[in-house]
């Protein structure tokens, strides 16, 4: 694969000789109108009609009972883990191949990660690898699932739908119920991605979505907790609102709370972005089709959606023949203003997680060494 051909191909898609970012937001819909309206109303903060509207839009779109808006995706995941009952000293199974926010959220619950391998098909947590780890290292007791060596409780499993590609959720649900583990989905990257017709983030007890500036739609900064039923939704809203018991003037808070509410100003942006989400999804799917065709007969693998799923193709990704080829492509594309990126360093290589327990991570290591993300902003269909 010649980087010159790749650069030409990408410039052709975006029809520009300027710098091409990995993923940039666009605001060509009602964004300005709605944001100006919140300014005029003075309801810019955590109460306002756009917060309610945005929560309803996300709940309806994902098919979940309740969606609770938060200041960002990390805050949504932090809240989701709290709601799922993760406690100080617990262990939580997740993937080493993820963005650091997944692990930060569980670290701030006082929990420790156990890193398990990903599937090369989805790039997300592999249910078989989770089962293998548990059957070797865990046992079921009256307290629940216990790690045989440290006697800590293994409380939850947090898979991440990498770049929007859904993991094998049915299989993971089976493993979680067998071992009595809470399933909390990090769906930060997968708004618009469906697993066998169900939206990602709706098979776990709780899930977190992100609306950071680089995600498929953005609220500037923002997130959402997806809750399986009305009751857990109300409780989630309560804890993101400092756990204040409603009263005309008394300050009474009945449990540890967060101040994680999304401001109305940001929700206004979110409501407008939801209106264009279907168009973005169509545009990104077409772009992915073209990448797939482009890499068709090369020595590079373009990551396509798993056959059981419909991906949002948030970030397009290729797996190179080897690390040398990856490094050359990274160097040569970035040098001419076409932004490409390697995948995140595996979490156990970061100082704060280097002592974490882990299973075999050989698939994660291959991907870490050879993957590149390519420009993926939605682009006009022509
Ligand atoms: C973006 C992202 C988050 C966190 O979202 P923020 O809104 O940036 O806090 C969490 N997990 C993953 C995998 C992400 O990509």
Q: What is the mean pLDDT of the chain?
A: 97
Q: Is residue 381 part of a domain?
A: no
Q: Is residue 248 part of a domain?
A: yes
Tell me: pLDDT of 364 over 90.
yes
Tell me: pLDDT of 295 over 80.
yes
The residues, any chain, with a CB within 8 Å of residue 101's CB and separated by 6 or more, are: 73, 74, 77, 186, 188, 210
With the most atoms of ligand 1 within 8 angstroms of its CB, the residue from 22, 23, 101, 166 to mutate is: 101
CB neighbour class for 344 (10 Å; exposed up to 12, middle 13-18, buried from 19): middle
- The tally of domains found in the chain comes to 1
Whether residue 164 contacts residue 186, with contact meaning beta carbons closer than 8 Å, is answered with no
Tell me: pLDDT of 381 over 80.
no
pTM of the model: 0.97
Whether residue 193 contacts residue 166, with contact meaning beta carbons closer than 8 Å, is answered with yes
Q: Is residue 160 part of a domain?
A: yes
In the structure, what pLDDT confidence band is assigned to residue 116 with cuts at 50, 70 and 90? very high
pLDDT digits (tens, 9 = 90+) for 129-163: 999 999 999 999 999 999 999 999 999 999 999 99
Predicted confidence at residue 2, as pLDDT, reads 82
Predicted confidence at residue 305, as pLDDT, reads 98
How far away, in angstroms, is 98 Cα from ligand 1 center?
9
In the structure, what pLDDT confidence band is assigned to residue 247 with cuts at 50, 70 and 90? very high
Q: Is residue 89 part of a domain?
A: yes
Burial pattern 210-245, b for ≥16 Cβ within 10 A else e, equals bbbebbbbbbbbbbbbbbbeeebbebbbbbbbeeee
CA distance 180 to 354: 27
pLDDT digits (tens, 9 = 90+) for 303-355: 999 999 999 999 999 999 999 999 999 999 999 999 999 999 999 999 999 99
Tell me: pLDDT of 50 over 90.
yes
Q: Is residue 302 part of a domain?
A: no
How far away, in angstroms, is 178 Cα from ligand 1 center?
29
What ligand 1 atom has the least distance to the C-alpha of 214?
1
In the structure, what pLDDT confidence band is assigned to residue 382 with cuts at 50, 70 and 90? low
Q: Is residue 353 part of a domain?
A: no
User: Which residue ranges have their beta carbon within 6 Å of ligand 1?
Assistant: 72-74, 77, 98-99, 101-102, 160, 186, 188-189, 210, 212, 223
Closest-CA residue, ligand 1 atom 2, reads 188
pLDDT digits (tens, 9 = 90+) for 62-102: 999 999 999 999 999 999 999 999 999 999 999 999 999 99
How far away, in angstroms, is 147 Cα from ligand 1 center?
28
Q: Is residue 61 part of a domain?
A: yes
Whether residue 314 contacts residue 284, with contact meaning beta carbons closer than 8 Å, is answered with yes
Q: Apex CA 364: angle with CA 204 and CA 307, to 5°?
A: 55
Sheet holding 341-342, edge to edge: 301-302, 316-319, 371-374, 341-342
CATH of the domain at 57: 3.40.640.10
Tokens of 61: 């779109």
Parent domain of 226 = 31-274
Q: Is residue 264 part of a domain?
A: yes
């Amino acid at each position: 694969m010649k980087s010159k051909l790749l650069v030409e191909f990408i410039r052709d898609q975006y029809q520009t000789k300027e710098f091409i970012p990995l993923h940039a937001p666009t605001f060509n819909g009602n964004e300005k109108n709605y944001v100006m309206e919140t300014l005029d109303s003075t309801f810019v903060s955590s109460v306002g009609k756009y917060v309610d509207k945005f929560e309803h839009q996300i709940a309806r779109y994902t098919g979940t009972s309740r969606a609770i808006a938060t200041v960002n995706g990390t805050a949504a995941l932090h809240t989701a883990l709290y709601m799922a009952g993760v406690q100080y000293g617990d262990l939580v199974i997740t993937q080493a191949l993820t963005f650091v926010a997944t692990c930060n959220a569980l670290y701030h619950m006082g929990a420790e990660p156990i890193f398990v391998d990903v599937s090369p098909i989805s790039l997300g947590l592999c249910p078989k690898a989770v089962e293998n780890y548990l059957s070797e290292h865990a046992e079921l007791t009256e307290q629940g699932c216990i790690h045989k060596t440290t006697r800590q409780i293994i409380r939850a499993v947090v898979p991440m739908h990498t770049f929007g590609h859904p993991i094998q959720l049915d299989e993971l649900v089976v493993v979680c119920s067998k071992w009595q583990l809470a399933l909390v989905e990090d769906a930060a990257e997968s708004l618009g991605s469906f697993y066998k017709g169900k939206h990602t983030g709706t098979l776990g007890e709780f899930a977190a979505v992100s609306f950071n500036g680089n995600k498929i739609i953005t609220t500037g900064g923002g997130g959402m907790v997806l809750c399986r039923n009305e009751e857990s939704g109300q409780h989630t809203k309560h804890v993101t609102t400092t756990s204040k018991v409603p009263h005309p003037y008394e300050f009474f808070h009945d449990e540890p709370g967060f101040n994680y509410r999304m401001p109305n100003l940001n929700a206004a942006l979110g409501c407008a972005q939801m209106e264009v989400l279907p168009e973005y999804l169509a545009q990104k799917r077409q772009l992915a089709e073209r990448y797939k065709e482009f890499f068709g007969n090369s020595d590079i693998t373009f990551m396509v959606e798993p056959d059981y799923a419909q991906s949002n193709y948030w970030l397009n990704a290729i797996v190179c023949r080897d690390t040398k080829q990856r490094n050359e492509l990274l160097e040569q594309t970035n040098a001419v203003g076409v932004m490409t990126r390697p995948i995140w360093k595996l979490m156990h290589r970061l100082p704060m997680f280097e002592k974490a327990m882990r299973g075999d991570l050989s698939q994660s290591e291959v991907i870490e060494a050879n993957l590149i993300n390519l420009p993926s902003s939605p682009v006009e269909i022509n």
